[in-house]
Amino acid sequence: MNGRSYKKFRLIIFYIFLIIVLYAAIGDSQRDEVSSNNTSETSIATDQESEYDIFIDLTESMLYLFKGDELVKKYVIAQGKDKSPSPIGVWEIVSKARNWGTGFGTRWMGLNVPWGSYGIHGTNRPSSIGRMASAGCIRMHNSEVEELYDIVPYKTKVYIYGGPYRNLGSYLQVLQPGDRKSHVLEVQIRLKAKGYYQGALDGIYGEGMKKALLEFKKDMGLPYNHYVDQQTYEALGILAFE
């Protein structure tokens, strides 16, 4: 297996568990946080499967485009800031548009992230490429996102890798009610697997998760509060490099 095939194989194995759980529980649900007055060419994904896969490595700020096992293109990208991280996980392109809105450059490819509107898009701030600079979306140079836009169809899988903590990226972050992010999704997955959480796997820390977390903490003898801290992560079996 050559280096390019190994990189793709490593990421697929890394997310195989998440793919199974997400598509069983979330389906095609999507919630929007960002709206746009320009809906040019925007539409929902068709039933046709894509022969391409996109792998985004946030630890490198790189986007890799594969066709089967062949690496076709690679691009430097900008990713989310610490306070507005990019959505780690396995997603699909479900919408595409030209000139989608102010600040989004010349192309937009929306992802089916359930807790907000995230996508791969261009930018009017090319100096941000290569840095943690966005509100969570993946930014590209306009000329490069135009190229990618023309290549990949709807339903193209987008694998976003953030580090050794699986869905949590490269660090464990204290969570509290109201948070909407990949970290919450991973905790929901663990609570559901243990029989405490019965709600949707949507990455939103709402009332259902509050109740489930309190029940779990009570049974585990943890401090009885709504915070997901280091002790809670460890009790859920979320450890480094698992």
Q: Which residues are catalytic?
A: 121, 137
Q: How far apart are CA 170 and CA 61, in angstroms?
A: 13
Closest CA to 221 of 208, 207, 234: 234
- CB 103 within 8 Å of CB 123: yes
Q: How far apart are CA 163 and CA 166, in angstroms?
A: 6
Question: What is the token pair recorded at 226?
Answer: 């709504």
Q: How far apart are CA 37 and CA 45, in angstroms?
A: 20
Instruction: Please give the single-letter amino acid code of residue 44.
Output: I
